[in-house]
């Protein structure tokens, strides 16, 4: 039952994100002139990509630090995931 709730929550979150994303893209196309749009989205996506990559590389080191130095267990970092 918990797994079904987890999958349902992920599905609902993604559906809402996609609905908001479409509205945001329409809003940005109204705000940003067409001749500047490619540069704007290119820079935006590059910055977001670098931040996402840095976070992806830093997360395992942060989790390892939390577990070894602060004696935090994975169960306290992600409660509920340990029950699946």
pLDDT one-digit tens code per residue, 20-72: 988 988 999 899 999 999 999 999 999 999 999 999 999 988 888 877 777 66
Do 63 and 47 share a structural domain? yes
In this structure, is residue 51 part of a structural domain?
Answer: yes
Task: From 77, 49, 52, select the one nearest 63 (Cα to Cα).
Answer: 77
pLDDT of res. 22: 87
Q: What b/e sequence results for 6-43 when a residue is b if at least 16 CB atoms lie within 10 Å of its CB, and e otherwise?
A: eeeeeeeeeeeeeeeeeeeeeeeeeeeeeeeeeeeeee
Query: Do both 46 and 66 map to the same domain?
Result: yes
| Same domain? 39 vs 73 | yes
Residue 44 domain boundaries: 35-78
41 within domain boundaries: yes
23 and 44: one domain?
no
Query: CA angle, corner 9, sides to 4 and 13, nearest 5?
Result: 150
Residue 56 within a domain: yes
Domain count, the chain: 2
Q: Tell me if 72 sits within 8 A of 65, measured CB to CB.
A: no
């Amino acid at each position: 039952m918990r797994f079904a709730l987890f999958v349902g929550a992920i599905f609902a979150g993604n559906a809402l994100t996609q609905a908001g994303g479409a509205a945001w893209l329409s809003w940005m196309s109204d705000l940003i002139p067409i001749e500047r749009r490619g540069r704007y989205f290119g820079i935006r996506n590059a910055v977001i990509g670098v931040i996402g990559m840095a976070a992806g590389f830093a997360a395992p080191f942060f989790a390892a630090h939390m577990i070894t130095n602060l004696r935090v267990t994975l169960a306290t970092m992600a409660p509920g995931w340990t029950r699946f």
